[in-house]
Amino acid sequence: MNSSENTGTARRVLVTGASGMLGGAVAQLLRDKGHHVRTFQRGASASATDEVRGSLADQQAVAAAVESMDAVIHLAAKVSFTGAWEDFVATNITGTSNLLEASKDAGVKDFVFVSSPSVAHFGDSLAGAGAGQADPDKAHGSYARSKAAAELQALGADSPAFRVTAIRPHVVWGPGDTQLVERVIQRAKAGRLPLLDQGAALIDTTYIDNAAAAIVRGLERMDHAHGRALVVTNGEPRPVGELIAGICQAGGAPAPKLNVPGWLARGAGSVIEKLWLAAGSRNLVHDEPPMTRFLAEQLSTAHWFDQRETHEVLDWKPEVGIDEGLQKLAEHYRAS
């Protein structure tokens, strides 16, 4: 077994963005495997014993975070359906550049960049697709464009002395998820959650435990994964309407009944997003807009992926199925 695959060898691993659901799960899994974990984020992370707080824009803070680390797993990002482009650049592009340079200077050997399949989703349906090439000029939405540019930076830094892989978990969800699950449930309860094209689009998603395991596996399998981009999903495509109904049922919300044509939602989303920003959303609005063009595309076009390369390279398969994940989600809401 190669040293990078030897899960019994403890390493010093920096995890950025550990205050988020996925970053926290990755940090905890690494601890469970016996690694020393340092976290880097603006606020406190759960149960962190070694953490550096700061911004990716602060080069001194970044340098302090990577000092003495063997590896980095980079999850910190600005994730939003809307917002000023310069904010995405500052965190997702410039922040990643700062972290890459500081990591190389500190002698870090392995770097896992957590990306998104949206970096290679250009608005058309994806059915059984591979990872595809990240393209910031073709990706839709500021988040996808900025992550595409950052992924190209990261993979462009790959070398025998500084190994980099990009892991792209797709639509991660699970208990404690405030970005997808909680928004679906709250909007459904408020009657503000339409289905597009009857919710028929077939999509892949990733349960939180599987996403965290695949990211950690990317580090363990760096001999095989470096220089590659790998999409990670549950490998269980479902109609988006079926998945949303399952999340609503788990959270005690009614399934959406309103149907809107996809073409209409995409056009309306473009207009709403512009009006939302023009209204001064960064200061006056504290929620996402009800619809954007990117969100409408995600809800009305198929996007599911061939997982054979991912399973082969990572020597891994997901352990928690969609139905079991929905059961765990329901148990979470009953307990809370």
Tokens, residue 302: 């198929």
Check the CA dihedral 230-145-104-209 and report its sign. negative
β strands within 149-226, DSSP E = 163-169, 172-173, 195-196, 202-203, 206-207
Distance CA 62, CA 226 (A): 23
Q: Read off the DSSP letter of residue 86.
A: H
The CA-atom distances, in angstroms, between 115 and each of 6, 167, 206, 290, 325 are 24, 6, 14, 25, 22
Catalytic site positions: 143
How far, in Å, CA of 332 to CA of 50, rounded?
A: 28
For residues 245 and 249, give the distance between their C-alpha atoms in angstroms, rounded to a whole number: 6
Structure-block tokens of residue 183? 């928004």
For 9, residues 6+ apart whose C-beta sits below 8 A from its C-beta are 3
Residue 197 near residue 302, CB atoms below 8 Å: no
Query: Is 30 in contact with 72 (CB distance < 8 Å)?
Result: no
Q: Which residues pair with 206 in a beta bridge?
A: 172
Q: Is the dihedral of CA 125, 126, 131, 132 positive or negative?
A: negative
Amino acid at 189: K
Longest dimension (CA), the chain: 57
Contacts of residue 182, Cβ cutoff 8 Å, sequence gap at least 6: none
The one-letter amino acid code at 248 reads C
Q: Which two tokens stand for residue 185?
A: 């449930």
